[in-house]
Amino acid sequence: MSLPKRTFDALVIGAGGGGLRAALQLAAADFKVAVVSKVFPTRSHTVAAQGGINAALGNVTPDNWYWHMYDTVKGSDYLGDQDAIEFMCRAAAQTVYELEHYGLPFSRLDNGKIYQRPFGGQSTELGQGQATRTCAAADRTGHAMLHTLYQQNIRAKTHFFDEFYAIDLVKDEEGYVLGAVALEIETGQPLLIEARATLLATGGAARIFRTSTNALINTGDGLGMALRAGIPLQDMEFFQFHPTGIAGVGNLISEAARGEGGYLINRLGERFMERHAPANKDLASRDIVSRAILVEIREGRGCGANNDHVLLKLDHLGADKITSRLPGVRDLARRFAHVDPIEAPIPVFPTAHYMMGGIPSNRHGQVVAPTVTGPEEPVPGLYAVGECACVSVHGANRLGGNSLLDIVVFGRAAGSHMLDYLRENPYPRPIPKDAPAPALARLARWERGGTGESIPEIREAMRRIMEEHCGVFRTGDSMQVGVDKMLALRERLAHAVLHDQSKIFNTARIEALELENMLETALASIVSACARAESRGAHSRVDFPARDDDNWLKHSLYFLAGTRLDYKPVRLKPLTVDSFPPLPRVY
Q: Which residues bind to other proteins, rule: CB under 8 A?
A: 39-40, 42-45, 47-48, 57, 96-97, 100-103, 105-114, 137, 140, 143-144, 147, 151-152, 154-155, 186, 215-217, 248-249, 251, 328, 331-332, 335-336, 338, 454-456, 498-500, 502-508, 511
The number of residues making up the chain comes to 587
Other beta carbons within 10 angstroms of residue 83's beta carbon come to 19
Q: Which DSSP string corresponds to 528-557?
A: HHHH--S-BTTBEESSS-S--HHHH-EEEE
Cα 462 from Cα 457, distance rounded (Å): 9
Nearer to other proteins, 331 or 484 (CB): 331
Cα 422 from Cα 199, distance rounded (Å): 13
Is 468 strand, coil or helix?
Answer: helix
Peptide bond into 478 cis (omega under 30): no
Please classify residue 227 by burial: count the beta carbons closer than 10 Å to its beta carbon, then call 0-12 exposed, 13-18 middle and 19+ buried: buried
Helical axes 141-156 vs 82-102, angle rounded to 10°:
70
Nearer to other proteins, 446 or 567 (CB): 446
Sequence-distant (6+) residues with CB within 8 A of 548 are: 533, 534
In the complex, the smallest distance separating the C-beta of residue 326 from other proteins, rounded to whole angstroms, is: 14
Nearer to other proteins, 327 or 432 (CB): 327
Other beta carbons within 10 angstroms of residue 136's beta carbon come to 26
In the complex, the smallest distance separating the C-beta of residue 212 from other proteins, rounded to whole angstroms, is: 10
Nearer to other proteins, 1 or 504 (CB): 504
In the complex, the smallest distance separating the C-beta of residue 554 from other proteins, rounded to whole angstroms, is: 36
Other beta carbons within 10 angstroms of residue 535's beta carbon come to 23
Nearer to other proteins, 112 or 450 (CB): 112
In whole angstroms, what separates CA 286 from the centre of its chain?
15
In the complex, the smallest distance separating the C-beta of residue 119 from other proteins, rounded to whole angstroms, is: 19
Nearer to other proteins, 61 or 478 (CB): 61
In the complex, the smallest distance separating the C-beta of residue 433 from other proteins, rounded to whole angstroms, is: 31
Strand-pair partners of 212? 352
Strand-pair partners of 234? 358, 557
Nearer to other proteins, 212 or 540 (CB): 212
Cα 411 from Cα 384, distance rounded (Å): 9
Report strand pairing: 159-162 vs 134-135. Answer: unpaired
In the complex, the smallest distance separating the C-beta of residue 48 from other proteins, rounded to whole angstroms, is: 5
Sequence-distant (6+) residues with CB within 8 A of 468 are: 478, 482
Q: Is residue 210 a contact partner of residue 471, using CB atoms and an 8 Å limit?
A: no
Which residue in 117, 140, 258, 286 is the catalytic one? 286
Cα 84 from Cα 395, distance rounded (Å): 11
Report strand pairing: 359-360 vs 389-390. Answer: parallel
| Residue 286 annotated to the active site | yes
The count of C-alpha atoms lying within 13 angstroms of the C-alpha of 436, restricted to the half-sphere facing its C-beta, is 23
Determine the residue type at 129: G
Cα 252 from Cα 207, distance rounded (Å): 14
Q: Find the Cα–Cα–Cα–Cα dihedral 425, 428, 433, 436, rounded to 10°.
A: 80
In the complex, the smallest distance separating the C-beta of residue 161 from other proteins, rounded to whole angstroms, is: 13
Helical axes 221-228 vs 507-531, angle rounded to 10°:
70
Nearer to other proteins, 506 or 556 (CB): 506
In the complex, the smallest distance separating the C-beta of residue 444 from other proteins, rounded to whole angstroms, is: 18
In the complex, the smallest distance separating the C-beta of residue 154 from other proteins, rounded to whole angstroms, is: 6
Nearer to other proteins, 15 or 384 (CB): 15
Nearer to other proteins, 224 or 328 (CB): 328
Q: Assign residue 62 a region: left if phi > 0, alpha if psi is -120 to 50, beta otherwise? A: beta
Q: Is residue 238 a contact partner of residue 205, using CB atoms and an 8 Å limit?
A: no
In the complex, the smallest distance separating the C-beta of residue 104 from other proteins, rounded to whole angstroms, is: 9
Q: Greatest CA separation found in the chain?
A: 69
In the complex, the smallest distance separating the C-beta of residue 93 from other proteins, rounded to whole angstroms, is: 8
Sequence-distant (6+) residues with CB within 8 A of 403 are: 49, 354, 387, 394
Determine the residue type at 333: A
Please classify residue 572 by burial: count the beta carbons closer than 10 Å to its beta carbon, then call 0-12 exposed, 13-18 middle and 19+ buried: middle
Closest C-alpha to 29, from 10, 15, 47: 10
Nearer to other proteins, 208 or 292 (CB): 208
What are the backbone angles phi and psi of residue 13, rounded to the nearest 5°? -105, 110
Q: Which residues are catalytic?
A: 286
